[in-house]
Amino acid sequence: MKIAIVSDLHIGYERFRQDALRQARMALEKAVQVADAILIPGDIFDKRAPKPDVIADAINLFRDLRDLNKLGSEIAEFRGPGSIYTKFPIIAVPGTHERTAAGKENPLALLSLAGLLADTSESTTVIKKRSEKVAVFGLGGVPEEQVKSELQRLSPLPFPGAFNIFMFHQSIYEILPFNDSFIHYDDLPEGFDLYVCGHIHNRIETTVHGKPFLIPGSTVLTQLKDKEQGKKGFIVFDTETLAWEFIEIDSRNFVLETVEAEGATASKVASSIRSAIEKAVDSYDNPVVRVVVSGTLEKGSEASDIALQKLVSEFSGRAEIEIDLSKLESEGLGERIDQIRAGKLGNMSIKEMGMALLLDRLKAEGYSGRIDPQTLFSILSESKKEEAIKAVLELLEKEK
């Protein structure tokens, strides 16, 4: 049996909403053509309470897949605390973006109630093609600190007489080694023939307990990190040959460029940023380009002197641009901060003083740079308190 693994569709993702829906449709329609069943290990939706039009987009997509009626197997059995309302073999679990409070339905459960897919959370779903059976045990995304206890409580076991798949949606310490609460490979239940995970947005192919462990990555750009520069797509696994392949979709290209500034003027840095963007635009059609600038500006120059909005506007319609100046410093910044603290203001403008103090405080607090400090300063300096809080929260929500 051929099993397609399509993950992290993030339908409704506001920054790239059309990309998310178009690429989700492309991946799933391709999967229907080449596989006997489809597994979705979480985050079909980008939010736990999607807007009605986003839910409508998902309903139309999955209804169209069902109407194609191309998958070569059907759901033969379901064992779990809930119920399913379809035999069509699209099997999913909710991800961390869809997690809701206990006792409340998440948006994935609504698709399951509508009979568009089978929610196999904390359950086993058995699919059958002629005499072959494939059993999928699913664990939806739960808080990281609860995963081990949840696995102990559930004690998942392989289904007799079937090819067994353990599907879940969590961070893994061996892949993201920065939080001790993340589970390790060894924490996963033994006895399964294939392990499938969502949540991580780049492709991973390794082994766990001597069996294949596969993460297809997301079908849409969200995090704009280095490992997302490859093509998006999904994995097709063959239960007979135990081989798999990655099938690409026509996803928007992402380019990450770096610019090093060593005592440069603001205009020179702007020119370097422009050159990096032009290189990406010349290579790809309407790419997403992120430029990370690091180093120092010459004495007297400030990062706020770089005309970011002008650069972004220059490439409007040809590329989606993000410029990160959080690692760029100005020579003499520390000295000027000391002067401010000592009350020696000199000829420094109010804007320069404010920016210097903000950067100093951000560094002291270990700021992660999720919002560009220049943008943050503009919001805080030009808005009333309530407006500033709202604007910052909206930016953070878009960066999730």
The set of residues, in sequence order, having a beta carbon less than 8 Å from that of 147 and lying 6+ positions away, is 170, 183, 187
Q: Are 122 and 78 in contact (CB under 8 A)?
A: no
Q: Are residues 172 and 303 in the same domain?
A: no
> Domain residues for 292?
254-399
Q: Are residues 76 and 192 in the same domain?
A: yes
- As for how many domains the chain has, the answer is 2
Q: Are residues 105 and 154 in the same domain?
A: yes
Which residue among 248, 269, 292 closes a domain? 248
Q: Are residues 353 and 381 in the same domain?
A: yes
How does pLDDT run along the chain (400 residues), one tens digit per residue? 999 999 999 999 999 999 999 999 999 999 999 999 999 999 999 999 999 999 999 999 999 998 887 888 999 999 999 899 999 999 999 999 888 766 678 899 999 999 999 999 999 999 999 999 999 999 998 888 899 999 999 999 999 999 999 999 999 999 999 888 899 999 999 999 999 999 999 999 999 999 999 999 999 998 888 888 889 999 999 999 999 999 999 999 999 999 998 888 889 999 999 999 999 999 999 999 999 999 989 887 888 888 888 888 999 999 999 999 888 887 655 555 555 555 555 555 555 666 666 666 665 555 655 566 666 666 666 556 566 666 666 665 555 4
287: its two tokens = 């790419």
Q: Are residues 220 and 83 in the same domain?
A: yes
Q: Are residues 361 and 238 in the same domain?
A: no
Q: Are residues 153 and 191 in the same domain?
A: yes
Residue bearing tokens 């943050």: 376
Q: Are residues 44 and 119 in the same domain?
A: yes
CA distance 13 to 190: 35
Q: Are residues 198 and 295 in the same domain?
A: no
Q: Are 235 and 246 in contact (CB under 8 A)?
A: yes
Q: Are residues 279 and 393 in the same domain?
A: yes
CA distance 170 to 146: 11
Q: Are residues 215 and 275 in the same domain?
A: no
Residue 364: phi and psi, rounded to 5, are -65, -30
Which residue among 196, 216, 248 closes a domain? 248
Which residue among 227, 248, 269 closes a domain? 248
Exposure pattern of 345-365 as b/e (b: 16+ CB <10 Å)?
A: eeeeeeebbbbbebbbebeee
DSSP assignment, residue 293? E
Q: Are residues 204 and 155 in the same domain?
A: yes
